[in-house]
Chains A and B, each alone.
Chain A
Amino acid sequence: MDVKTESYVAEAKKELVNPSSRMFLDFFLPVLSAVREIGLSSFPDPQAAVERARAIRRQSVGRLGELLETFERNAMKAGAKVFWAKTAADANMYIRDLINRHKIPYVTKGKSMITEEMGLNDVLAKNGTPVYETDLGEFIIQLLEKPPFHIIGPAINIPTDEICRIFMERAGMENPTNDPVALGQAARDFLRDKFKHMQMGITGVNMAVAETGSIINVENEGNIRFNKSAPAIQVSVMSIEKIVASLDEALHMLRMLCRNGTGQKLTSYVTVDTGPRKTDEMDGPEELHIIIMDNGRSKIYENPKTREVLQCIRCGACINICPVFRQIGGYPYGWAYTGPIGKLLNPLLLGLDRTSDLYGACTLCNACKNVCPAGIDHPSMILYFRNRNMEQDQVLNGKGATFSERFFANTAGIAGSYPILWNTATTIGKTAVSRFGSGHPLVKAWTEKRAFPPMPKKTYRDIRKK
């Protein structure tokens, strides 16, 4: 998918006044955060459950290499084909070749963020292979050619009249309606036909279990189950960090994932698959291909500071609680991942130089860190990115400080150790702002919508001296 992280400010400005985004952001996100609280309160000890989840994720990432190898061994033992993709291009090529080799006329897809990251749909379109998204939200944004608004609700901001228009235009719906149930039925009618003749289904993976070689998917619509059980060939793509050691740990993480994402104790559908169809089984694919994709994550893993980001389980709790996301929604983040986790993953996967507004536009309020069931300290990572960017980090593609930024910081750093210098400089600064500052862009940025108090004649230091 296209990277638009550099138009963050312009997109944010648009979204701040976009009525359909506002409706969703103002009312639905606080509700999602509230149902999360209710969901967590169904644990006998919610804090203990959160702490266990954080420990599981930390340990899973700590044992990443070993667990992945165990997973591969057990998945292959169960009959799956495992492909290690170093890059998104490798993964895309594997899928494309599979399609061409088996002469697959079209593919259906379950909702997955990883295939957004890979830009799989574009690659398959170029190959002349039609792709049908089967998650209702993904189906809508695919028709509208829009990026996902939210990692778990990609079209949650789209009003029903827009859905009606696009369904009539592109999904064969005949009579206009704003009834959500009727719209859902229209999508279902359209997609059922695709499911009927499907030969290959593509899904993401929520969790991969090392001890059994199983892959787990969570959803509320049943389309992923369709994609995993109906076609002859199933392709499931996972990034390396999706691993957990055991089914016991996977089940705990499932409880956390659902509660944190939608407030549900469990989603309507949870599928655990171990290998393709066995000879004595009636259902399931004949071939199961599991693609384990790195796409820059080994680099994230190698750095002990950034490794923590791999603990994410994509529940979306940080997104729903983020005050900035609650104002601007998902589009400004400009790539696959949005909200606080997008502020971490997009810069790590795309480079600090082209994502500076993502980690810049943060008030460091700590709300994300507070709710994260995977134990990620987002604010600390954001500060680390700012530092690595200023210091022109080679691995993370930091672009370096401007001359004036560095000059200001160095001067302040020196003055901060000499009280006389500091007091003189700040007093001059204060006078300058109050007398001549009105035209300065930074002062204007404040005073356009907010008053600034009159500068007092005396500082507290002056008052105290008397």
Chain B
Amino acid sequence: MKKAALFIPCSVNLILPGIAVAADLVLKRLGVTTVYPDSQTCCGQMVYNKGFFDQAKSFARHFIQVFENFDAVVCPSGSCTAMVKHRYPTLFDDEPSMKKRAEILSTRIFEFSEYIVDVLKIEDTGAAFNGKVAYHESCHLNRDLGISAQPKALIRAAKGAQLVHMNNADQCCGFGGEFSVAYPDISNALVGSKVKCYLESGADILVLGEPGCLLNINGYLERNHPGKRAMHIAEFLAEQGEHHGC
């Protein structure tokens, strides 16, 4: 029996808890016992990206302490995973003992779809979706963590789902955390062109693995193309019943 600790990003905990519920459900269905360490707070990416490295360090210290005793930590976000996996070790260049702990944790943290495909060695999760699916290659999953084949394999294995090509699938949707509100004009233009590619793909649903992109794309869709929507891969895989697109 595999055991994994869930690291639930702030955006999911506070705004989109359905993603965490779905991720938990899918993992349990695949025979994983999940633990939710109650003392988890935040990875600190928000202050880090703003340039406050020292403050990010105190988030990192707490995070490492909470999660370092688990063999596997699973997170339904590429950018939060990348923060822990790639940024934490660099934060402690002047503290060898913390750096070592950060590096060890860095080998134990997995993005949700990566964990299922690369660790559990499962592609068919028992999911079912009747329709065409486009996949948005979120930047930090795709380029920071190199995760692209895994989520697509999971989508292909879903019963009834047909993965279709989407132009510029790997171009940023324009979220970028604070970027989305600091530069709303550019951000809106970017999400507009992402949505255009989604609509042109002819897909019934847009699946992605990043809560930030999800908020951005769904926010734009709801205002401009009600009826069309994006879905987190955990929610997509949680679906097992008859589903007839959107």
A interface residue numbers (CB < 8 A to B)? 9, 12-13, 16, 26, 30, 323-324, 326-328, 360-367, 369-370, 383, 385-391, 401, 405-406, 409-410, 412-419, 422-423, 426-427, 430, 442-443, 445-446, 448-453, 455-456, 458-461, 463-465
Task: Assess the A460–B47 pair: CB atoms within 8 A.
Answer: no
Task: Assess the B189–A464 pair: CB atoms within 8 A.
Answer: no
In the complex, the chain A residue whose C-beta lies closest to that of B43 is A416
CA distance A426 to B41 in the complex (A): 10
Residue B55 interfacial (CB < 8 Å): yes
CA distance A360 to B187 in the complex (A): 13
Task: Assess the B140–A366 pair: CB atoms within 8 A.
Answer: yes
Residue B160 interfacial (CB < 8 Å): no
Q: Could you say which residues of chain B place their CB within 8 Å of the CB of A386? A: 49-51
Q: Could you say which residues of chain B place their CB within 8 Å of the CB of A12? A: 183, 185-186
In the complex where A419-B41, A442-B181 touch, is A363 in contact with B139 (Cβ < 8 A)? yes
In the complex where A413-B59, A450-B191 touch, is A363 in contact with B172 (Cβ < 8 A)? yes
Question: Which B residues from 154 to 183 make CB contacts under 8 A with A?
Answer: 168, 170-172, 174-177, 179-183
B interface residue numbers (CB < 8 A to A)? 8, 10, 12-18, 20-21, 36, 38-42, 44, 46-59, 61-62, 139-140, 143-144, 168, 170-172, 174-177, 179-186, 188-191, 193, 215-216, 218-220, 222-223
Residue contacts A-B, CB under 8 angstroms, 11 given? A12-B185, A323-B171, A324-B190, A327-B193, A360-B182, A389-B51, A405-B50, A412-B59, A449-B188, A459-B17, A463-B20
Task: Assess the A327–B52 pair: CB atoms within 8 A.
Answer: no
Task: Assess the B140–A417 pair: CB atoms within 8 A.
Answer: no
Task: Assess the B46–A370 pair: CB atoms within 8 A.
Answer: no
CA distance A416 to B181 in the complex (A): 23
CA distance A363 to B182 in the complex (A): 11
Task: Assess the B181–A446 pair: CB atoms within 8 A.
Answer: yes
Partner of A463, one of B21, B185, B186: B21
CA distance A327 to B177 in the complex (A): 18
Task: Give 10 new A-B contacts, CB below 8 A, not counting A16-B185, A412-B55, A459-B17.
Answer: A12-B185, A323-B171, A401-B52, A409-B50, A413-B55, A416-B44, A417-B41, A430-B14, A449-B220, A461-B36
Task: Assess the B58–A364 pair: CB atoms within 8 A.
Answer: no
Task: Assess the B59–A416 pair: CB atoms within 8 A.
Answer: yes
Task: Assess the A323–B172 pair: CB atoms within 8 A.
Answer: yes
Q: Could you say which residues of chain B place their CB within 8 Å of the CB of A405? A: 50
A90 to chain B, nearest CB (A): 34
Main secondary structure of the interface of B (DSSP, over half): helix
In the complex where A363-B175, A451-B222, A460-B12 touch, is A417 in contact with B58 (Cβ < 8 A)? yes
Task: Assess the B62–A417 pair: CB atoms within 8 A.
Answer: yes
Q: Could you say which residues of chain A place their CB within 8 Å of the CB of B55? A: 409-410, 412-413
Q: Could you say which residues of chain B place their CB within 8 Å of the CB of A422? A: 41-42
Pairs A-B, 7 closest by C-beta atoms: A363-B176, A386-B51, A450-B219, A413-B55, A365-B139, A366-B143, A365-B172
Task: Assess the A460–B49 pair: CB atoms within 8 A.
Answer: no
Q: Could you say which residues of chain B place their CB within 8 Å of the CB of A364? A: 49, 139-140, 176
CA distance A30 to B181 in the complex (A): 26
Q: Could you say which residues of chain B place their CB within 8 Å of the CB of A460? A: 8, 12-13, 17, 20-21, 36
CA distance A360 to B222 in the complex (A): 28
Task: Assess the B180–A426 pair: CB atoms within 8 A.
Answer: no
In the complex, the chain B residue whose C-beta lies closest to that of A454 is B15
